[in-house]
Structures are given as structure tokens and as C-alpha cells.
Amino acid sequence: MLKDSPKAVLLLSGGLDSTTVLAIAKAAGYHCYALSFDYGQRHGFELEAAAVIAVQASVVAHKTIQLDLGSIGGSALTDASIDVPQAGQSQPVSEGIPVTYVPARNTVFLSLALAWAEVLEAQDIFIGVNAVDYSGYPDCRPEFIEAFASMANLATRAGVEGRQVTIHTPLIAMSKAEIIEVGSALGVDYGLTISCYVADDAGRACGRCDACQLRRGGFEQAGISDPTHYLS
């Protein structure tokens, strides 16, 4: 990679999507600065995965910021009193926002990514939002990303001084199978990633939550062997 390659802040959860985005950003020639969040999520094993993935990808730096979104609650991913839906129990999008939606999560995450980008004088932020498989999440829609980018360029010194920030969402219109195909072509080791909402302490996936079902179906549709360790 050339010394004058652009810098990019990349949100890295340790999951399939964000790991694919990291591979895409690196292939595009960016110096990648990975940002993860310990926000009180049930599936904390993903942070261990993110740390391993960041090292393997030779990112320039990897930060993990602690947030207490669990104290706010309102999501099955942060509130133990709300059950994570299992296979056959998923809530149709037409009936409202899924219980696995974490209130304002991507707004908070992108805001902190924007702050780090300003410090780094980076003009590019990558996030693995997807509007195809997760169409029930309001903060995964193109309209949200466009609105955030407009705000970012109004509310920052960089934006006022003409150094416009771009929010990259390379996966936003892809199916899970397409994402896996792209990542596999770039050499992503999906065995390192974790998608399950309720993975155990060893990182084994439940095989029944929405995230597991989407992941498993994506590998099947792509015709690529699924390296995930499922409990069921």
C-alpha cells in the first residue's frame, strides 16, 4: 500500500458483514482504522473476534470504545428481559421494528467514528449496513446514511473547511449470499467471524436466531461451505 493512501475509519463488530467491508476497504487501498464497541450487547464474544480480525487484517489501529446502551435497554440485544426471537418466531417487518433493533445504535456509532475520523484527518468512514436482509432496521436504510452524511459535513470543522466526509456502505444493496461471495473472493476467513445474537462463551452460534438463519442461508445460497460452529 502506498504511503499516501487515504485513511478510513471502519466500524468492525466481528461479524460477517463488517469483516467483509474491511476486506473491501483494504482492497480499495485504504489505510484502515477499525472501531469496535462494547455497548452492553449480549453477544460479547464478537469483540474477541473483532480483535483477532483486526490483527489478521493488519489494520493501522483498532479501538474498542465502551458504551452502556444496556442501561437504556429497549432491545433484545441489550436487555435480558426481552427474548431474542428464535426460528419461526421472527416479527414480520410489516408489524413494526424488530425487537433486535438497538435504539439509535448506528447514529451513536457513526458519530464516534466521525469524531475519530476528524482527529485522524480521514475523510472516509465505512459501515456494513444492509437494507436487504435487515430492512426492518431504520438506521440501515440509504436515507439514514444520506442524512447522517449531510449532518456530518455541517457539524464538523472538517466539513466547514471543505474536507467532506463520505460514508461508504458497500453492502447496502447486497443479499447475504452476494456479501459472502464478495468476501470469499477477497480471501475473508469467515471462520473467524461471529453473527449470532446469543453465542455462548466459546463463540458457538445458536443456529436459531435471525442472524444465524440469515448467515446459514447466505452460505447455502452462495454454494460456499459454512465454517460456523452451530449448537443446533
Question: Is 232 part of any domain?
Answer: no
Question: Is 230 part of any domain?
Answer: no
Does the pLDDT of residue 195 top 60, yes or no? yes
Domain of residue 46, CATH code? 3.40.50.620
Closest CA to 34 of 144, 122, 158, 134: 122
Question: Is 1 part of any domain?
Answer: no
Q: Which domain holds residue 130?
A: 7-222
CA dihedral 197, 174, 27, 43 (to 10 degrees): 0
Residues 178, 28: Cα–Cα separation, whole Å: 18
Question: Is 137 part of any domain?
Answer: yes
Q: With beta carbons less than 8 A apart as the criterion, state whether 175 and 219 touch.
A: no
pLDDT in tens, 207-223: 999 899 999 999 999 99
Total domains present in the chain: 1
Question: Is 55 part of any domain?
Answer: yes
Residues 178, 184: Cα–Cα separation, whole Å: 10
Q: With beta carbons less than 8 A apart as the criterion, state whether 179 and 129 touch.
A: no
- Give me the pLDDT at residue 1, please: 52
Question: Is 124 part of any domain?
Answer: yes
Does the pLDDT of residue 93 top 70, yes or no? no
**Helices of type H across the chain:** 16-27, 45-56, 105-120, 142-155, 157-160, 176-185, 210-222
Residues 10, 34: Cα–Cα separation, whole Å: 5
| pLDDT band at residue 201 using 50, 70 and 90 as cut-offs | confident
- Give me the pLDDT at residue 87, please: 65
CA dihedral 6, 62, 167, 147 (to 10 degrees): -150
> Distance between alpha carbon 120 and the CA centroid of its chain, in Å?
21
Question: Is 91 part of any domain?
Answer: yes
SS3 per residue for 191-221: HHCCCCCCCCCCCCECCCCHHHHHHHHHHHH
Give me the chain's average pLDDT, please: 91
Report, as an integer, the average pLDDT of 101-128: 96
